[in-house]
Amino acid sequence: MSPTLSETPAETAAEPVVAPVPAPAAEPPAEPVAEPVAEPVAGLAPDLSLDPALDGGEWVEPAAQDVAEAVVRDARDFGVYARTGGWAFALKVARSVRPGGQPAEGSPKVSAKAFAELAGCSAERVMRYYKAWDTAADDGLVPQFEALVPGEDVELPEADVWLSYYSSRSSATSVRGHAITAAAEAEGIKATKALEVAENPTALRAAILADPGTAEAARDALLDRMKEDTALQTEMARAIARTGELKKAVAQEAKAADRIEFVRQVAEGGQVRTPAGQTLDAPPELRAEAERHLSLIDELDDSEEAGEWAGEAYDTVKSLVAKAVEEDPALRVQERRAKFYNSLQKATKVFEELTLDEVLEEDVVEADMVQRLEALQEAIGACINALRKATDAS
């Protein structure tokens, strides 16, 4: 009895086309008979692997007796499957299942549900073969359903083309499945593998928890996805902010990244930012020192911590910047002027933010507040007098 659709694995399920086998002779022949060769199925090339003269492996002579009919049939079935793979099963579905909407009257074909019941498998599996044939027919690779007659063979494509049209997973036909399939093709892997992972997130979680390599691959994938998925960015940021250890780690890494960027700006951009916030051209010796530290940081492996190296580079470059400012009289004056303006601007902003109306309305004024403001007033007055004297002297 030929194998049914339900007896083949979901990934490579393919029921071979079986050609009729003549009954064995009633009397055994007087001389040894060569191993029978499978008769070619219509539209299919003969299976040369069954010919001992063409087999690349070591040939073993069969016993000097008739080969059992079941062995001959198996050999023929194997030859068909070796050449066509799943197309052999797809042909059986395509020529026996009527297309949707076609009336049953006047046609020997049956519905996918009825065919599945006869085959002893699910209608979903039958439809996956049906859809694979339909897609191939649209591409002109195989005949359309209407041109097929139950029991008749046609020329079939080669086996290696089958997986381009067939998916053993129903999820592949959904919008999500199409997206996963496209991503898998872009990565150069089989879509069935990606779909299998997507259908079992618990297994994916277990692999990530247990295997550092899988965790690293998952991390890289998430980072790539977050570049375009703003919703995922927000979710990840929220999750990190709510986890104390992760929040602290992110803050440390952000600090190290800022320091590396400071050094990189000096080394590659030739620009340096002074403590007062001025942007100046970096002297040659300062730029060379920044380049040296940056090269050491860039040589670190991904597994090595860059925080300590970043701190050392930042402190070195920053001290050299301060030294360069102090050694240049004009630059030193400019830097101190900018620093004073920054402090004055901050003090002004703080004073302007005092909400006196709320303090007076709620009757929360205390003597200490007045004393502090009076001291501030005296300090401001002294500062003004000093600046006036300096202005008059100049």
Question: What DSSP line would sit under 72-96, residue for residue?
Answer: HHHHHHHHHHHHHTTHHHHHHHHHH
Contacts of 103-108 spanning 24+ positions with Cβ under 8 A: 108/150
d(CA 12, CA 33): 35
Percent share of the chain, pLDDT over 90: 10
pLDDT at 142 over 90: yes
Concatenated DSSP letters of 237-289: HHHHHTSHHHHHHHHHHHHHHHHHHHHHHHHHH-EEE-TTS-EEEPPHHHHHH
- Rounded to whole angstroms, the Cα distance separating 97 from 150 reads 9
Contacts of 325 (CB under 8 A, 6+ apart): 274, 331, 332, 335
Residue 193's H or E segment, with its range, is helix 191-198
Q: φ, ψ for residue 97 (rounded to 5)?
A: -105, 125
In this prediction, residue 101 carries a pLDDT of: 57
pTM greater than the 0.75 cutoff: no
139 and 158 in contact (C-beta within 8 Å)?
no
Q: How many Cβ atoms are within 10 Å of 89's Cβ, its own excluded?
A: 29
Residue showing tokens 């359309």: 144
Identify whether the C-beta of residue 292 lies closer than 8 Å to the C-beta of residue 241.
no
pLDDT confidence of residue 394: 67
Residue in the structure block whose two tokens are 């670190």: 300
C-alpha distance from residue 67 to each of 12, 63, 78 (Å): 29, 8, 16
pLDDT greater at residue 351 or residue 22: 351
- Average pLDDT, stretch 390-394? 79
Residue 158 DSSP one-character state: -
Closest CA to 89 of 182, 192, 165: 165
Burial class (CB in 10 A: 0-12, 13-18, 19+), 258: exposed
Residues 300 and 312: their CA atoms lie apart, in Å, by 14
Residue 36 per-residue DSSP state: P
Q: Are 296 and 276 in contact (CB under 8 A)?
A: no
With 0-12 / 13-18 / 19 or more C-beta atoms within 10 angstroms meaning exposed / middle / buried, residue 151 is exposed
Q: Which of 55-64, 128-137, 262-271 has the lowest mean pLDDT?
A: 55-64
If one counts every other C-beta atom within 10 angstroms of the C-beta of residue 180, the result is 20
pLDDT computed for residue 61 by the predictor: 47
Q: Name, of 7-16, 123-132, 175-184, the range with top average pLDDT.
A: 123-132
Q: What DSSP character marks residue 17?
A: P
Of 6-15, 124-133, 234-243, 339-348, give the lowest mean pLDDT range.
6-15
DSSP codes, 302-367: TTS--HHHHHHHHHHHHHHHHHHHHH-HHHHHHHHHHHHHHHHHHHHHHHHT--HHHHHHHT---H
Per-residue pLDDT tens over the stretch 44-91? 444 444 444 344 444 444 543 578 888 888 888 788 777 777 898 999
Judging by DSSP bridges, how do beta strands 279-281 and 271-273 pair with one another? antiparallel
Please report, rounded to a whole number, the percentage of residues in the chain having pLDDT higher than 70: 76
